[in-house]
Structure 1
């Protein structure tokens, strides 16, 4: 139950922050062009899929690498790590939206850190679920 409260609370904060970002950007009369809308669409789509992934994890969502349940349905049927994928694409959308293209260098750092964390999580999942996880890994992308 505590995990669920944490999960939904952090999602609420993400949505609140997103709303503040968008409204303050447009109120500031910042540069608005096709990059703005491409970035905005990418952020919205990413946020929807990120939310679906977090909700599907339910009580399995952990800040640290733990293995409670192996979630293989919903978006997890096709993508092993959708929270990371869509978190990454959200940040990409943010840099496109704000047109801070040198910030894309930050994405390289995020990618390296995410891959490290994913490897740690996958080690824990293989230890807990063994062949079931290995087979699941073969049937899914990233």
Structure 2
């Protein structure tokens, strides 16, 4: 990595791959009842609705992040992106995959219901140790001020 330019993809594809694989495997295993399900009859519809809302919310983040603001082009141009969806989330791409994973886990209602907390902790630690460090090194106080105003994965607006 050129020390004056941040990587376009960073560690994202690796993190998202791990989260995706774990989520899909746990969902498939629960569908075939190969792992215990925590079905609570009174809450089945609640989990289904909440999971669906989170998946839609995750997809809704993808559209302004990737298609409209073209965040990858901004990073390629070595710009600090703080506008658009980044007014609400510092890491919108990670957030969208987090929301989709949580939604799938809620819908599948399997024993991995603690997985979202583990995923969130994992993302937070890894991003703080890598990408946040790169961003602070590159933009210093500007990034620190931005990070005080805008959360990483869960918008203050929600």
Is 1:105 the counterpart of 2:114? The answer is yes
Match of 1:18 in 2: none
For 2:137 and 2:151, the matched residues in 1 are separated by 20
> Which residue number corresponds to residue 11 of structure 1?
none
- Counterparts of 2:148 and 2:114, CA distance in 1: 31
TM-score between the two structures when normalised by the length of structure 1: 0.64
* TM-score normalized with structure 2 length: 0.59
Q: Distance in 1 between matches of 2:51 and 2:88?
A: 24
Q: CA deviation at 1:123?
A: 0.6
Closer, same or farther in 2 for the Cα pair 1:110/1:60, shift >3 Å? farther
Using a 3 Å threshold, how does the CA distance of structure 1 residues 54 and 116 change in structure 2: closer, same or farther? farther
8 Å contact from structure 1 (residues 126, 134) kept in 2: yes
Higher helix share: 1
Question: Is 1:43 aligned with 2:52?
Answer: no
Task: Compute the displacement of 1:140 (Å).
Answer: 1.3
CA distance change for structure 1 residues 61 and 47 in 2, over 3 Å: closer, same or farther? farther
CA 1:118–1:54: 2 relative to 1, 3 Å: farther
Give unpaired runs (5+ residues) of structure 2.
1-7, 14-19, 21-26, 32-38, 153-158
CA distances 1:27-56 after superposition (whole Å, capped 9, x unpaired) = xxxx9x513233122211211113422343
1:36–1:97 contact (8 Å) kept in structure 2: yes
Give the RMSD, CA atoms, in angstroms. Answer: 3.4
1:1-142 alignment, distance < 5 Å:
33-34=44-45, 35-55=47-67, 56=69, 57-60=71-74, 68-100=78-110, 102-119=111-128, 120-142=130-152
Shift of 1:71: 0.5
The list of structure 1 runs, each at least 4 consecutive aligned residues, that deviate by more than 3 angstroms after superposition, is none
Tell me, in whole angstroms, the C-alpha distance in 2 between the residues paired with 1:38 and 1:138: 29
